[in-house]
Amino acid sequence: MSSKLTSLSAYRSLLRASRLVFNGDTRTLNLSLRQIRTEFEKNRFEKDEKKIQKLISDAQEASSFLISSVLQGVKEQDGFKIRLNKKQVEANLDANVTIKGIDDQYLENLERRAGRKKNRGENSADETAVEQQQQPSTESSCCKSSSQPASN
């Protein structure tokens, strides 16, 4: 794939990750989208292929980091209320956090699939079909973590 297409793909991936993570927080979402645009525009006319590949790699890593590591929460008396989507639940299965309000069967399926992906390192067609049948978003409460609460 050409550098232009790869960089456009990385740009779109970052935009999607920001929209996913900061959904409902208009101020933070707008700041994030503006910053992404500014950084890509700053390097728009870069000619050095090694630097371009490094920038693309950084953008892809940032997108992955946003989805797997950034959760927003609202402080409540007994912890934090967060809304997790399927990608965030899958990415945080190993986190030492109690998640209330998520169907046990759904979590078992996610854990099973995560184990298979680690063993095989790939996503099979029937796993994709199972993913499509799951709910796109789950409203949850997160409380009593052994580490710091996940919030921004």
pLDDT for 6 equals: 93
Taking the CA of residue 28 as centre, how many other CA atoms within 13 Å lie in the half-sphere pointing to its CB? 14
pLDDT for 42 equals: 94
d(CA 51, CA 8): 15
Series of mean pLDDT values for 10-residue runs along the chain (152 residues): 87 94 89 96 92 94 88 79 74 62 66 65 43 40 42 45
Calculated CA dihedral for residues 112, 86, 70, 52, nearest 10 degrees: 90
pLDDT for 150 equals: 47
Write the CA distances from 139 to 45, 69, 98, 102, 143, integer angstroms. Answer: 42, 18, 14, 8, 13
Q: Which two tokens stand for residue 97?
A: 């956090």
d(CA 38, CA 143): 36
Calculated CA dihedral for residues 14, 20, 21, 24, nearest 10 degrees: 130
d(CA 27, CA 52): 30
Q: Which two tokens stand for residue 77?
A: 């008396």
pLDDT for 28 equals: 92
